[in-house]
Amino acid sequence: MKESKNAYDFSLVEVIRFALRWKWHVLALTTLAGVAAAVFSGPRFITPKFSSTVVFYPSTINSISGVVLSNNQFKDKDALEFGEEEEAEYALQILNSSPLMTRVVEHFDLMAHYDIDPEGSYPYTKLAQEIKSNISFKRTELLSIEIQVLDKDPEMAAKIANYISATLDTAKTEIQRQVAAKAFQIIEKEYQAKLALVEELKDGINALNSGEEMVNNPFARKNKKAARQDALLNADKMQGAGNNLGTLLSLTESLSLQVEQLNELQRKYELAKVDLEEYIPHHFVVTPAAVAEKKATPVRWMIVAIAVFSTFFLSMIMIILFERVRESYRMLKSENQN
């Protein structure tokens, strides 16, 4: 261990000795690197970009009718409840989807904004690279979603960030309404069919009642002979058993059952209609994007510091290697002379 420590001390002393011997060369290189980094990180070479950020929490709402209207299935849901990890992942999936980004591109004409020639080589690849480098989404530790937009125009950065946040609601609503529209069509069809069946049963019962009244009422027989014949004919068509009491009871029981099913379908029909036609926000914006007052990139002092440190480190390695090679050459030359 003592030998290892001595070797380490010797190496450190050797590095310091090399640094002092070559101090003017190292100083010149690091100074040149710092000046070059300061110049080439300026606005003439790197376009300054401003940052705008939106922070929001996704909601837990999927079915508007199930949460807003009374429904035991959603009794634990709250329309004002913040979403958790699962909702945050869903929101990120929508934010990274092609339809949403296509809207952003078209709304702000990003192809022209990023100075991309649509007739040039690989315009959409270049556009995708620009979007990837300037627009980012991430989930925070508190399960909120952060939308960050970088742009050379601070107002444009804020507009894009806020538009993406607003478009998230539109995109999610459209996805849900595609399913809601199909569900509504199915329920509406079943509801109309059940409604027609109930009306048919009512007509049958009315026909039986009307026929029985015509038979038992002489005045009705005399003055409403044609109506009686029609009623009996309808009753025959419904059950084929005339206007007997058993048929009437059977139709009445069937009507009661069908009305109960119709009421249930009507409730589902109304809920499906709400999901299709109504809208509520799918996220809660905590921090809307504001116009930045100072640029976010490039951070020139960091670029200069990295350039200076890297140049110093590499120059020291090169000096040590040079000294080692030169020392080995001298030793080899001395041995050959002896």
pLDDT in tens, 203-239: 877 877 665 544 454 444 444 445 445 544 554 544 4
Residue 265 has pLDDT above 70, yes or no: yes
Domain with CATH 3.30.70.1130 in the chain: 50-179+280-287
Contact predicate 283/59, CB 8 Å: yes
Q: What is the CA radius of gyration of the chain?
A: 41
Pairing of strands 145-151, 135-139: antiparallel
The helix/strand/coil state of 87 is helix
pLDDT in tens, 314-332: 888 888 788 778 777 777 7
Place domain 50-179+280-287 in its CATH homologous superfamily: EIF_2_alpha (3.30.70.1130)
Contact predicate 152/49, CB 8 Å: yes
Token readout for 289 is: 């994007």
Contact predicate 197/258, CB 8 Å: yes
pLDDT score, position 215 = 46
pLDDT in tens, 45-54: 788 899 999 9
d(Cα 119, Cα 135) in Å, to the nearest integer? 24
d(Cα 168, Cα 178) in Å, to the nearest integer? 16
